Amino acid sequence: MSENITKEEIIEQFKGNKILKFTTYAVGGIAIIVLAVLAYQQFIVAPNQAESEKAIANGVLYLENDSTQMAINEFEALVSEYDGYKGGEVSQYALGNMYFEQGDYEAALNELKGVKLEDSYLMTLAIGTQGDCYSELGDYKSAVEMYVKAATRIDNEATTPLYYYKAGLNAEEAGDFSKAAEYYKVIKDNFLSFSNQKGIDKYITRAENSIIE
């Protein structure tokens, strides 16, 4: 049910952002995001800076070389060693995404639930990916809750309509067609540049026609 458009859309929308620069790596044919600048510059205070940077660098290098398991090992070690620091939190986010790409949705949820970051966009992505996990596990109600939380956390043209869209799809799966129509209408009325805007009317019609009076 979870559609693989979130990360690609966010990358396109945020390419010009000087603060958040995303580096993408293909793992198992599916793109995952590593927030390179945040990981290298913002994650931990001295004197652990150099050591943490080296560990993050190793993890990124393994991803570049498609050495997924070695990357997982690196990020697992960082999560354990730097828990509570930004480095550990960013690593936990990356680790959760890697578990998700491998199809281990329970493990991904466990990691993503533990991510605590002040960074608005990265935290929004962590919440949204929790929604993806719930969706893949067939828990559509919980998926909707996470998607709406992600959509409303920080209003922007990239993540907000995308997560409302996913909330609508999962609300339909959960049988809550009224809510699905509501989420789609938010996109229609407020996010004209969203990629699925042209087809949003058909989603609204489908949801409304499915409502049992």
61-97, pLDDT tens digit by residue?
777 677 778 888 888 888 888 777 777 788 888 899 8
Q: What percent of the chain has pLDDT over 70?
A: 71
Is residue 43 predicted with pLDDT exceeding 80? no
Q: Residue 25 and residue 28: Cα distance in Å, rounded?
A: 10
132 vs 90, higher pLDDT: 132
Which CATH architecture does the domain made up of 6-210 adopt?
A: Alpha Horseshoe (1.25)
CA atoms within 13 A on the CB side of 109: 16
Q: What is the pLDDT of residue 158?
A: 87
Q: What is the token pair recorded at 32?
A: 């995952």
Average confidence (pLDDT) over 16-31: 35
45 exposure class (CB count in 10 Å sphere: 0-12, 13-18, 19+): exposed
Instruction: Name the β-bridge partners of 207.
Output: none
Q: What is the pLDDT of residue 17?
A: 37
Per DSSP, the three-state class of 33 is strand
Cis preceding-peptide flag for 47 (omega within 30 of 0)? yes
Helix (H) or strand (E) holding 34: strand 30-35
- pTM, whole model, 2 decimals? 0.76
Is residue 139 predicted with pLDDT exceeding 90? yes
141 vs 36, higher pLDDT: 141
Q: What is the pLDDT of residue 172?
A: 96
Q: What is the token pair recorded at 101?
A: 């790409």
Q: What is the pLDDT of residue 49?
A: 52
42 vs 121, higher pLDDT: 121
Give residues with Cβ within 8 angstroms of 167, minimum separation 6. Answer: 131, 143, 144, 147, 148, 151, 179, 180, 183
Q: What is the pLDDT of residue 40?
A: 40
pLDDT band at 146; cut points 50, 70, 90: very high
Query: Torsions phi, psi of 26, nearest 5?
Result: -90, 120
Instruction: Name the β-bridge partners of 24.
Output: 33
